[in-house]
C-alpha cells in the first residue's frame, strides 16, 4: 500500500524520525524500480491536504459491455479535508514488442471513494476475442488545488484474450 501525504514538513519529519525506507515496486517486466519518498507539498501556504491513497482495479472484461476491457481508478481520503475532488487519470495499456503502449486514456474529477460515480473508467473495445495479450493500467491522482508528486500506480499485468 502506498500512502501519499500533503503536509510536506510533517511527513518529511516522520520519515526522518523512523528512517523509513521506500519499498521497491515491480514494473511489468518484473524489474524493481525504487521510488523516492511520497511527500507532497500543499499549494496553499500553511495548509496540508492530509493523506490519500491511489486505488485501481486490474484490467478486466466488462460486465456490462460485451467484448470490452475496462480499467478503473479512484482515490481514498485517509486523513484530510472532506469534500475535495481529484482529477483521476487512467491509461489502459497493452504490451507489444516488449514495450507498453497506451490504447486509451480517460480522466474525470471525482470525490474520494470509488464506485460508479467516484471513479474514472478507461475502456477498450476488442476487435476479436482471440490472441492473448498483456494489459495493465496506470493511474494518476491529482488533488485539485494542491501540488503533489509524480507517483502513478501501476496495476498488475493481466493476460486477456482481447484482440487489437
Cα–Cα nearest to 4, from 74, 71, 79, 57: 79
Q: What is the pLDDT of residue 164?
A: 87
Q: What is the pLDDT of residue 5?
A: 55
Q: How far apart (Å, rounded) are the C-alpha atoms in residues 153 and 164? A: 24
Any residues with CB less than 8 A from the CB of 46 and at least 6 apart, and which? none
Cα–Cα nearest to 61, from 19, 99, 92, 15: 92
Regions in the chain scoring below 70 on pLDDT: 1-49
Q: What is the pLDDT of residue 100?
A: 98
Q: What is the pLDDT of residue 80?
A: 83
Q: What is the pLDDT of residue 48?
A: 57
- Cβ burial of 85 (10 Å; 0-12, 13-18, 19+) is middle
Q: What is the pLDDT of residue 130?
A: 77
Q: What is the pLDDT of residue 1?
A: 57
What are the tens digits of pLDDT across the range 54-81?
999 999 999 999 999 999 999 999 988 8
Q: What is the pLDDT of residue 3?
A: 64
Contact 100, 94 (CB under 8 A): yes
Global pTM value: 0.73
Q: What is the pLDDT of residue 149?
A: 87
CB atoms < 10 A from the CB of 132, how many?
Answer: 9
Amino acid at each position: 500500500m502506498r500512502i501519499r501525504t500533503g503536509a510536506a514538513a510533517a511527513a518529511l519529519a516522520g520519515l526522518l524520525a523512523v528512517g523509513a525506507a521506500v519499498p521497491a515496486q515491480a514494473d511489468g517486466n518484473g524489474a524493481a524500480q525504487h521510488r523516492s519518498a511520497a511527500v507532497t507539498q500543499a499549494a496553499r501556504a500553511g495548509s496540508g491536504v492530509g493523506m490519500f491513497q491511489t486505488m485501481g482495479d486490474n484490467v478486466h472484461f466488462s460486465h456490462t459491455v460485451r467484448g470490452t476491457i475496462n480499467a478503473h481508478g479512484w482515490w481514498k481520503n485517509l486523513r484530510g479535508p472532506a469534500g475535495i475532488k481529484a482529477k483521476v487519470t487512467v491509461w489502459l495499456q497493452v504490451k507489444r514488442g516488449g514495450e507498453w503502449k497506451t490504447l486509451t486514456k480517460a480522466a474525470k474529477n471525482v470525490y474520494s471513494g470509488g464506485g460508479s460515480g467516484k471513479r474514472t473508467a478507461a475502456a477498450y473495445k476488442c476487435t476479436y476475442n482471440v490472441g492473448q495479450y498483456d494489459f495493465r493500467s496506470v493511474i494518476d491522482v491529482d488533488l485539485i488545488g494542491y501540488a503533489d508528486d509524480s507517483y502513478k500506480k501501476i496495476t498488475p499485468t493481466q493476460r486477456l484474450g482481447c484482440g487489437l
